[in-house]
A and B are shown apart, each in its own frame.
Chain A
Amino acid sequence: MIELNRLTKRFGPVTAVDDLTVTVRPGRVTGFLGPNGAGKTTTMRIILGLAAPTSGTALVGGRRYQQIIRPLRQVGSLLDATAMHGGRTAYDHLLSLALSNGIPRSRVTQVLELTGLGHVAAKRVRGYSLGMKQRLGIAVALLGEPPVLMFDEPVNGLDPDGVRWIREVLRQLAADGRTVLVSSHLMSEMALTADHLIVIGRGRLLADAPTDSFTKSSARADVLVRAPRAGELAALLAARGAAVTVEDDGALAVTGLDAPAIADLAAAHGVAVHELTPRRPSLEQAYLDLTATSTDYRAATLAGKPQAGR
């Protein structure tokens, strides 16, 4: 379990993490979402004792990270997969870390096999692809069989196979009963992987909810309607109590009536309909709505209405 209590971190005038109170629970994958610069990495660095919070506390298993003896057995982490010495082999990189925490050598070979790096273990890391480095970073995180794991943008730069592999690893770790915190700015990825979401923007907590309820509560479901006589249809829909907004290209976004009802209404009045698309709320839309309204940072970069994920 990871507990953040009123965690705040300032870098001069910039507040990177702003009064963040959140608990990450075991047995599920918790997605840690936010736009670039939202404070995800800073939060993870504070959890790992790498950066000191300006105020507030970050506890792992009830203790500050610095108080944990042999911490790799309690917390596994992947912050930056490229942060390695290029001249060292994967085996030696893992061995040094294993020795630092009293982890047996046999575990090094085990995690190398587990991550599919067994055949390149004796090669220097310099020649590794980004995907191989990510795998090695995950091997480091798994080394101490820790009950708590944190991954910062683990799918960055990976091919589809690698992405799927990491997704399976994360789900398996959570299924084992571990606490798994994964940061990402890729909503689509988190929709597939995370059971629970923590969303931050400009260091502030925006949402802390199960993935499915987050999607339902935050985003509107609507129906996209294209009709040559859009104005006439809009009036008919409004008369039936639907809320209608006109999109930039003249299409109607309708809420309050479902697609069959709209089709029936149009047919009854002899209005031709060219397109009728129910739009399900996507995590991406929910996320964009949330971050766009809550921070001026998003407003500045995403001027106007964000494009909907369909």
Chain B
Amino acid sequence: MTTVRIRADGEPVPSLAARARDVIAFEWTKLRSVRSNYVTVLIAAVATIGTTLIVAHALASTPALPPGGPVTALTASFLGYAEYAVLPVSVLAVLQFTSEYTTGLIRTTFAAVPRRRAVLAGKAAVCAAAALIVGEVLAFTCFFLTQAILSGRHRGVSLASPGVPGAVLAAGFVLCACTLTALGLGAIIRHTAGAIAATIAAIYLVAALCLALPSPWKEDIGRFTMPFAATQVVALHPQAGLLPPAASMLVLIAWPAVALLAAGTVITRRDA
């Protein structure tokens, strides 16, 4: 206690870039320093790859797929990924905010960085980067594994085929889009259980509900949901009646954008 001295406050004001770096370092350190985050991602990866292998083997042992259907040799690569990677990683993203609100740590966070939108942006940047890396690694892994199994039946798709690299990259991006949607919902709802429910609704259930609708409505509404849009950006031959891939990509960007903008609006208005 005897060594502490009052800091002379003659320091230059740090630049905006330096402060952005501070917030990202803050959020990255918090994300990487919790072991259960790694465990969750690891389990998600194992489950994803396992499911992908099962799907690929099942596909390889069936007769040829109906042409023009939603499931192709390419999209089949991501059937496991769409659930076993997307769901657990999205839940992790929800927890980035809700766990801080639940424990009260959010007050320490906001005391350290009083500009709350900077905290939101920092968490979003870190989550986006991590999800993009995990998403792309898993998407390419799932693609290669599936094609390796299907090529034994001469049904595989090559990465060299036109449109395929873009489709696999887009599949990887889907994880990032879902993660950021989940992060925004976590910031808005603040309670873990409620935010997870809302995230599952946003990512899966709205689309599942659309599937139950009669045909013109199913496509008219469904094309604005994340799963329909994800199918379109990954498919080499997009379905008619839904949005084209470019517009579907915008849908995939719009969901997290809206969630994060709404979070940015409410985060400064409420007492922590």
**Closest-CB distance, A3 to chain B (whole angstroms):** 17
Which residues of B lie under 8 Å from residue A100 when comparing CB positions?
A: 22-23, 25-26, 112-113
Asked whether any CB of chain B lies closer than 8 Å to the CB of A192, the reply is no
Q: With A and B bound together, what is the CA distance between A234 and B105 in angstroms?
A: 60
Whether B1 pairs with A172 at a CB distance below 8 angstroms is yes
Q: With A and B bound together, what is the CA distance between A288 and B100 in angstroms?
A: 38
Asked whether any CB of chain A lies closer than 8 Å to the CB of B6, the reply is yes
Interface size counted on chain B using CB atoms at 8 A: 38
Q: Assuming A51-B272, A89-B33, A140-B108, is B114 touching A176 (CB within 8 A)?
A: no
Q: Assuming A85-B34, A96-B26, is B14 touching A70 (CB within 8 A)?
A: yes
**Closest-CB distance, A81 to chain B (whole angstroms):** 10
Asked whether any CB of chain A lies closer than 8 Å to the CB of B154, the reply is no
**Closest-CB distance, B24 to chain A (whole angstroms):** 9
Tell which of B6, B19, B26 touches A177, judged by Cβ atoms closer than 8 Å. B6
A:45-97 near B, CB below 8 Å:
45, 48-52, 65-66, 68-75, 77, 79-80, 82-89, 92-93, 95-97
Whether B34 pairs with A80 at a CB distance below 8 angstroms is no
Q: Assuming A92-B29, A99-B22, is B271 touching A51 (CB within 8 A)?
A: yes
Closest to A72 in B: B112
Which residues of B lie under 8 Å from residue A68 when comparing CB positions?
A: 114
Whether A99 pairs with B105 at a CB distance below 8 angstroms is no
B:72-131 near A, CB below 8 Å:
99-100, 103-105, 107-108, 110-115
Which residues of B lie under 8 Å from residue A147 when comparing CB positions?
A: 6-7, 9
Which residues of B lie under 8 Å from residue A110 when comparing CB positions?
A: 3
Whether A84 pairs with B107 at a CB distance below 8 angstroms is no
Q: With A and B bound together, what is the CA distance between A85 and B33 in angstroms?
A: 10
6 pairs, CB–CB < 8 Å, chain A vs chain B: A84-B108, A86-B103, A102-B14, A110-B3, A147-B9, A176-B4
Query: Which 6 pairs from chain A and chain B are nearest by CB?
Result: A83-B104, A100-B26, A92-B33, A96-B29, A51-B271, A99-B25
